Structures are given as structure tokens and as C-alpha cells.
Structure 1
Amino acid sequence: MSSHEKHDVETSSGHDIAPATSTASNGLALKPTALERERAEQLARLPDPDAGKSPEERAEIDRKLMWKVDLWLIPWLSLLYLLSFLDRTNIGNARLAGMENDLHMFGTDYNLSLTIFFISYALFEPLTNTLLKRLTPRIFFTGIIVAWGIIMTLMGLCHNFAGLLAARFFLGIAEAGLFPGVNYYLSCWYKGSELGARSAIFFSAAALAGSFGGLLAAAISKMDKIGGVAGWQWIFIIEGLATVFVGLFCWWMVFDWPETARFLSEDDKIRLQRRIIQDRQGHAATDFDKKYIYEALKDWKTYGYMVIYMGCLCPLYAFSLFLPTIIAAIGYSGTTAQLLTVPPYAVAALATVTVGFIADRTRWRGYCNIAVVLVGIVGFSMLLGSGDPHVQYAGTFLGAFGIYPTISNSLSWASNNIEGSLKRAVAIGMIVGWGNLNGVVSSNIYISTQKPRYLTGHGVVLAYQVLFLLGGTIFMHFALKAENKKRLSGARDNMNDGLTDEQKLVRGDNRPDFIYTT
């Protein structure tokens, strides 16, 4: 088995794995399934460094191992995503610092500069996990981060609107690989039941980027005219150079797979590989096997999660790109407006991590989405229905709370229920790509002529949350519960009758013994 195949293991399910052998109702052992044979073969290739230890001793060793992995992976990856989100959304802060006047932008020019980013971002995002697996994570992450840092820096040297559009287009291409790439990368290190909390911490960096971006922009904009460079240009230049600096360190901070991690002992490398193999509910997909791609395309769950995720992403980008504009419309300007963008994001970051831990512990991903989005619906109803600045500002807090936790929770939910690493990579690519394509909608709903109420913008966000996020979540929750009921009752036991072992393996989560997370 190659190093790459070793890590193409299924970590999607948080449910307990099947025992090494199956047992019939009369107590007699049944012939091991193809899955059980495959798992046993893979484990046999790896020695057990903890042979003879008690379950309590093994649990303590495992706890210390994962703490070590957490400390190395999560802070660094979160920093990368903070920079990513900061670099794509700081254009809102630059707008407050006078970018439109200097670049002679009028009417919907600002909206177009946002739209062009999402076109390239959404088109290239589904392709990036394939590139990551071919190049290895170290080369891939270092390359894309240095590339977008350079583009960000050059954006600060733009002297006209056309230059800004070109920079935003290439920024979308360079940034497209980070979010899906990190989600796949984490699945090579963690069990499915551990992904939600880690993804939530990672994604909370997006909210922190909003807070940090407002503080940083308030400080950098004070450099206006230093060296003959405008304050908004310094925002792009300094944040771009910081990204390049951090990106270069990826070569030493990112390890391709657990067996190449220098921060782990040889025994810990083996432990990590064994725990991932043991977590699998299903077959490890063969790289680039078209059968698994077709399975992702045919799976109704892929399209269900695409609907949910578009309900997450349109509100996310509308909020992050236009919060400075909304704050300015309420009646604040300059440094005060920049600083007032910070507290809503801080609330969003805390909510994201909290909901991530709750969802991992309870496995109630559908219920968590429903509870969170209801808060967001209240927040945007306040923004839509009131002209009172205090009510509107309070609405931004509830709006942020109702948006950010649903991103990581929805993707973890999809990962839990889509089995087979290649099928999951394709499905997640489709889900995330479609979600980000809705950034085009987000970019064009806050119309400058509707200042200060922005009724179209708030109304569209509210509709996305009610129809797609809430409606899609309710549908998926009850559809999966109904399917689980059929499988547990034995009504699906014959669903794979007549299929060969290989055909059954390709079916992935479409097996009668796979129980969905609801």
C-alpha cells in the first residue's frame, strides 16, 4: 500500500466501528465481511506499539497523542485561514479608507470587484483537492499561500479599476484551494467524530479575521500618504507581505501525512495510522477511480448539502464583505466604523467553537444548524425591519451568531455521511464550489443607492437563511432519520442483493449497515 493510499482512508463517520467479526443471532461467528478483511489486512501491516497495555493506559496515550497533533496542526492552519479570509474581505475596509475615489469607481463597480473573485474562486475550488493529492500538502499549501500573498501585495499597487479586477480574479484562483484542502487534510489525521470541533476552531479564524481586520485597518489607514501611498493601499500591501512571510514557513510547518511528521515519535506515527484505519466504516477508495466520482454525482445527499451550504455561504459573504458598509450606513465613519466591526466577529468566533464542540459530542448536527440559523433569522429581521441604528447594530451580533457556526457544522455533517475518501472529496468539492458560487449573489445585493437601509441585501440574506439553510437542514434531518429507521428495522437489508463484493464497496454509505448522522 502506498503512502498516499494509506491516508485515503474513510474518516467520515463518528459511529463506532464494526467489530473484527460479525455475529449471527444464534451466537455463531459469521464470515468476515470484505470491509473487515480489508481493515484487518491494513492493521496487520502496522505493529501495535501498545500491545499488552490496559484500555485505560491506551486511552491516556491516545489523549496525549491527539493533544500533540492538535497543538501542531490547528493553530497553524487557523492562522492560514485567518490570512485567507482577511485578504479576501479587507476590500471592505479599503472601501472605507477611500479606495473607490482613488480608483475612480462608480455605481456598481465595487460590487463587480467582489463578483469577479467568486467566479474564479468557485470555478477552481472543486479541482484543488485533486491537485493537493498529486503535489502533497507541503508543496500545495506553501505554493498557494505565497502566490496569493504576492497578488495581495500587488493589489496595493493598483492605479485603476481594471487593475483591481485583474488582481481580484487571480486572488480567487490562488485562494480556492485552502478551505477544501484543509478539510481533506484534517480527515487524514482525525477520526470522523473529531472533525467537527477541529473544523469549527479552524473556521472560527474567519470570524477572528473580521475582528482583526477591523483593528488592523484602523491602524494601517493612519499611514495614509506615507511614501506617497494611500492608506487603503497600505492595507493591501502590509497584509499581503505578512501572508507571503507566513506562507514561506509552511514548508517547515506542514507535514504531508502522519508517517512523515517529525514532531511525532515512530510509535506515535504508527498509533495515528492505526486509529484512522480502525475508525473506518467503509472501504478506502482507490485514487481517481471514476466509479467513486459517479457515486458522488448520483448521491442525493450531495445535492441536499449543496442547498444547505448555499444557505450558509451567501449570508456569510454578504455579512463579511458589507459589514463595514452597514456600520457606515448606520451613521459611523473612519476609525470608529472600522472598530465597530470587531465585536460582532468576536461573538461569531466564540459561537463557532462552542457549537462545534456541542455538535461533536451530541451528533445533533441538524438540530445545531436549526437552532443557530433561527438566531440569524432574528438578527437579519431586525436589520430589515428597523431604521434605529442601535437595533440595527444589535442585529449584526445576532446575524453573525446565526451565520458562522453553520459553515463548519454543515461541512462536518456532509463528511460524516459521505463514505469513501474520493467520493467525499468530489462531493465536498461540489458542495463548497456551489456554495462559493453564491458569493456572486452576495456581491450584488447591497446596492449603494439603497443606503442606509439596504433592504434588498438584508431581504435576500434572510430569504437564503429561511429557504435554503433552515429549509434544507429540516429536509435533510428528517430524510436521514427516515432512512436510518429503515436500515435499523431491516427494511434495507436487501438493497445490495445481487452485487459483487467490489460493487458493494463502491456503494459506500449506500449500505444497509451504514447509519447516518442526523
Structure 2
Amino acid sequence: MASNPDKFPTEDKPIVTMDEKQRHSHDHSSDPEAATTGDQWRHGVDAAHEKRVLRKLDIHLLPFVSLLYLLSFLDRSNIGNARVAGLANDLQLVGLQYNIAAAVFFILYCASEIPSNIALKLLRPSVWIPSIMVAWGIVMTLMSLVKSFEGLVVARIFLGLTEGGLFPGVTFYLSMWYKRSEQSRRVAIFFSAATVAGAFGGILAFGIEKLDGTAGLNGWAWIFLIEGLVTVVIAFIAYWYMYDYPSTAKFLTADEREFVVERLKRDSTDLATHYDKKFVFQALTDWKCWLQVCVYIGVLIPVYAFSLFIPTIINELGYSAANAQLLSTPPYVAGCFFTVLIGIMSDNMKLRGPFVVLCASVAIAGYAILYATPAGHPGTAYAGTVIAACGVFPSIAVVLAWAGGSAGGDVKRGTAIAMTIGIANLGGICSSFIYRTQDAPAFHIGHGTVIGSLLLSIVSSCIAMFTYHRLNKQKEEQCRREGIDHSHAPRFREMGDASPLFRYTI
């Protein structure tokens, strides 16, 4: 086997700084996340071949996992459409009862995420992910039969428990197929399914609502029933359609499987991939992982508030219930477009933090318009919802790619992703209570709370960028001083991102 011409630097070729790497783009060996820029990668495999393999991965992985998340987001957020369709009136919900029903979803949803990602690592993705889908699809279907506030609360609790593992699971799953520098756009495409679900959910609810009274079910009950049954059907297909790992992917040739596995090892500087509880504790005791939780919760509170209340907010602007369902679509379409665009730009520039700050700032502008627009100007306020969507949704994918790319080793990365998503999802409880009926139509408390959470994300991102830049400089200096190169990787195999060979993404 020929030696790798793109190996890590040795003593007579020191690790270069970020500025030097930008001046000499042909030498990216010190950056394990750097994409291939030369004509050769290894074994005579050129960059064109690498692109073909990546395209093959994208075609076989992304459409299906995006569909799974579309169903997940549709099933968790359709309670907002159901409320406008008459759920609150039919179940005689008063006061904060709707808010409580929305909030209880997040309790077990958050608690189940870290155990779910550990189970995903111990079992096969093609078994675990479809199984939890079947479970939440059944719960969603049975929600069509609820007759009281108490029944709705119980159903929402179990929906959160069963849905909890999908989003962190698929995010972790994608990190086992793609290099860190390639993950943001893939997570963006995957998460854009949430915006599609929001757009599609409004149109779907508008149509399904017309079944009101059919077979003795209310229109909102048909929303739950149809969307739940579709989830169950797709889940059974997933048992046969999902692929587990690159090393066993049947759609790749033997040489392509070896190529994908090898490039992932190189990207992770050959860090540990086996399960050991110490890797879980590495994540739980790493303050940088908790910092990523702060970044994520700052953008997640607005996302959940948006999905749960946007039909209500638009309805309170003076539009009819039916028109509010339809008008909830354009903000999601705009959010979808910018989610994919920002994800691609983030990967191309190999930057995360600056894009989080940018997106959060755009969202603040949108919510400031909503906050400041007086009654009687629905068009201006509606424009604020579109601008807000263009900021909050794109930030999610970038933050998750950042969190996953900042943790070294499979198990620590999976735990860090589950921590970030699971703990930050407790913000969904906050989201459920900030838009109160008595605050309509201005909703100053809700919009103000969202702006505050976005500022938290901006501040946390700035701290993370400063910290990662400083640590990268320290590691580069250590490698120069001690002559550490990729041949020493086995020594640091179980150190995770503390390895001197690991580089954080800014």
C-alpha cells in the first residue's frame, strides 16, 4: 500500500497557523477537518472520485432521514394547527391548559435523548430509529381519540418519550458518515425538513380540517389520525431502507467502503470509536459541551415558540383561522431556503460561530418588528414573522454541526450531541408558556423573551469562538514543541478532543 502523501506534519514540517493555511491552501494537513483540495487524496483516488462517493452518500442517506424528521416535526407541532382548528374549544381548554399540554411533551423528550443515542450506538440504526418511529406514530394516531385535557396531556407526554431519540439519533448517525467539515450542510438539509413540515403542516391542516364530522371525528382529530398513520407506514419501510454504517453499506463498492471509513478515521485523528462509559463522562464533565448547550437553547426557544404559536400569532393579527393556516406556510418556506443556504456557506467557509451570530441577529430584527408594530398593521407584523424564520431556523443546523464537530470520538460526540439537543429542549417548556392568551395580539412578553434567548446564543457563541481559537493555538504550539504528528495518533486515541492532534472549528 502506498504511503499517504497528505499525512499529518512531522518535525521538519511544523503545524501552520490558520492564516498560513489560508495562504497555502494546498497544505491542509494540520487541520483534520480540512476538505481535500489537492488532486490526490490517497491511493491515486482523485478529488472527482471523492465527490462522486459523497454524492452517492447524499442520495442514499439524506432524502430518507429528512423524511423521517419531517414526520417527527409535523407530529410534535401539529397541536398548533389543531388549536386553530378547534381543539381548544372542543376539549374546553381554559387558561394555561393549552400551554401545559404543549409543554409536557418536552419533559420525557429531553430525558430520553442521551439514553437513546447510547442505545443507537449499542444497537443498529436500522433497528433503533424505525422502532421509535413506530412507537410515536401509534401515540400520534391515538391522540385523535382524546376527549379531555387530561387525556391530551398523557398523550403528549408519551409522544415526547417516543420521539425523543430521533433528532439526536439522526444527527449522530450523519456524523458517522461525513467528515466534520461536511456535516453542516447535511444537517441543514436534514433540518430543513422541519421548515417543510411547518409549511406543509399549514396546508395539510387546511385540507384535513374539512373532514370535520366525518366518522364522528372533529377536524383536528383527523389531523392527528392521518399524520400518525403515515408515520407508522414510513417507519415499517425504514426497517429495510436504512443503512447502518459505511463499513456495511451495500450501496457502496468494497473500495468505496474502505475509502469512506479511512477518510473518517483521518478526520477524527483516529480517535476511539468503541463504547466505554468513560467517554460518556468525558462529555458530561466537559464545560465546553455545556457551553454548546447554552448556544443551542438560545436558538431553540424561538424555534419551538415559532412552531407552536405561529398560527395563533397570525390569527391574532386579524386573519381568519383558515387564512392563518395558509399564511403560516411562507415563513417556513423562507426559513427552508436560508437553512440550506447557510448550511452550505458554513461548510464552504469552515466556520460555525459567526453564522450563529449572524442568524440570531437576523431573528432579533424580525422579532423586534413584531414587538414594535402597533395594532392595525398586520402586513408589517407578518413581514416580521418571515424575517424571524429566516434567522431562527438556519441557526439550528449550524449549532448542531458545531457541537458534534467539537467533541472527539464517537461516544463522546454522540453524548455531546444528545446533551446539546436533550437539555436545550427543556427550553421547549419555556417556549410553551411565553405566548399567553391574555397577551394577544401584541404578545410583548413572548417576543421579548425570544429576543433575550437569542442574545444568550450570541454571547455564548462569542465565548465559544474565543475559547476554541485559543485552544487550537495551544495545540499547534504543543505539536511544534514536542514533534507530534499523525504517526503519534494511537497515543491519544482515548483522549477525545483533548488530543493535541484535534482541532476545534471556530
TM-score normalised by structure 1 residue count:
0.87
1:35 maps to none
Q: Deviation digits for residues 318-352 of structure 1, max 9, x if unmatched?
A: 01100001001101122211000000000000000
1:432 maps to 421
1:113 maps to 101
1:164 is aligned, of 152, 155, 166, to: 152
Q: Deviation digits for residues 391-411 of structure 1, max 9, x if unmatched?
A: 210110111111011111011
Q: Deviation digits for residues 178-201 of structure 1, max 9, x if unmatched?
A: 111101111221111111110000
Per-residue deviation, 1:261: 2.5
Q: Provide the identity percentage.
A: 42
Counterparts of residues 352-431 of structure 1 (less than 5 Å): 352-387=339-374, 388-431=377-420
Q: How many residues align?
A: 473
1:298 maps to 285
2:116 maps to 128
Contact in 1 for aligned 2:5/2:42 (Cα 8 Å): no
Rounded Cα–Cα distance in structure 2 between residues aligned with 1:465 and 1:115: 20
* Alignment CA distance shift 1:423-1:26 (3 Å): closer
2:31 maps to none
Structure 1 unpaired stretches of 5+: 1-16, 28-49
Contact in 2 for aligned 1:293/1:426 (Cα 8 Å): yes
Rounded Cα–Cα distance in structure 2 between residues aligned with 1:459 and 1:353: 27
What is the one-letter code of the residue matched to 1:180?
A: P
Contact in 1 for aligned 2:141/2:227 (Cα 8 Å): yes
Contact in 1 for aligned 2:404/2:414 (Cα 8 Å): no
* Alignment CA distance shift 1:53-1:474 (3 Å): closer
Per-residue deviation, 1:270: 2.6
1:245 maps to 233
Contact in 2 for aligned 1:486/1:492 (Cα 8 Å): no
Per-residue deviation, 1:503: 7.7
Q: Which moved more, 1:457-466 or 1:133-142?
A: 133-142
Counterparts of residues 243-282 of structure 1 (less than 5 Å): 243-282=231-270
What is the one-letter code of the residue matched to 1:456?
A: I
What is the one-letter code of the residue matched to 2:405?
A: N
Per-residue deviation, 1:423: 1.2
2:11 maps to 24
What is the one-letter code of the residue matched to 2:12?
A: S
Rounded Cα–Cα distance in structure 1 between residues aligned with 2:407 and 2:136: 31
What is the one-letter code of the residue matched to 1:400?
A: A
1:95 is aligned, of 75, 83, 89, to: 83
Structure 1 counterpart SS, 2:269: coil
What is the one-letter code of the residue matched to 2:424?
A: G
Counterparts of residues 34-113 of structure 1 (less than 5 Å): 54-55=44-45, 58-113=46-101
* Alignment CA distance shift 1:477-1:21 (3 Å): closer
Contact in 2 for aligned 1:211/1:342 (Cα 8 Å): yes
Per-residue deviation, 1:472: 0.8
Contact in 2 for aligned 1:18/1:281 (Cα 8 Å): no
Q: Deviation digits for residues 211-240 of structure 1, max 9, x if unmatched?
A: 000000000001111122110111110111
Contact in 1 for aligned 2:273/2:409 (Cα 8 Å): yes
Rounded Cα–Cα distance in structure 1 between residues aligned with 2:12 and 2:478: 14
* Alignment CA distance shift 1:480-1:52 (3 Å): closer
Structure 2 counterpart SS, 1:104: coil
Rounded Cα–Cα distance in structure 2 between residues aligned with 1:94 and 1:479: 44
Rounded Cα–Cα distance in structure 2 between residues aligned with 1:371 and 1:18: 38
Residue 193 in structure 1 maps to residue 181 in structure 2 = yes
Structure 2 counterpart SS, 1:156: helix
Contact in 2 for aligned 1:282/1:509 (Cα 8 Å): no
Contact in 1 for aligned 2:180/2:267 (Cα 8 Å): yes
* Alignment CA distance shift 1:450-1:51 (3 Å): closer
Per-residue deviation, 1:18: 10
* Alignment CA distance shift 1:337-1:511 (3 Å): same
Per-residue deviation, 1:513: 3.6
Rounded Cα–Cα distance in structure 2 between residues aligned with 1:482 and 1:447: 44
Structure 2 counterpart SS, 1:255: coil
Rounded Cα–Cα distance in structure 1 between residues aligned with 2:142 and 2:407: 40
TM-score normalised by structure 2 residue count:
0.89
Structure 2 counterpart SS, 1:509: helix
What is the one-letter code of the residue matched to 1:123?
A: A
Per-residue deviation, 1:390: 1.6
Contact in 1 for aligned 2:6/2:42 (Cα 8 Å): no
Structure 1 counterpart SS, 2:498: coil
Structure 2 unpaired stretches of 5+: 15-39
Structure 2 counterpart SS, 1:105: coil
Residue 223 in structure 1 maps to residue 211 in structure 2 = yes
* Alignment CA distance shift 1:168-1:22 (3 Å): same
Per-residue deviation, 1:134: 2.3
Contact in 2 for aligned 1:117/1:171 (Cα 8 Å): yes
What is the one-letter code of the residue matched to 1:341?
A: S
Contact in 2 for aligned 1:291/1:506 (Cα 8 Å): no
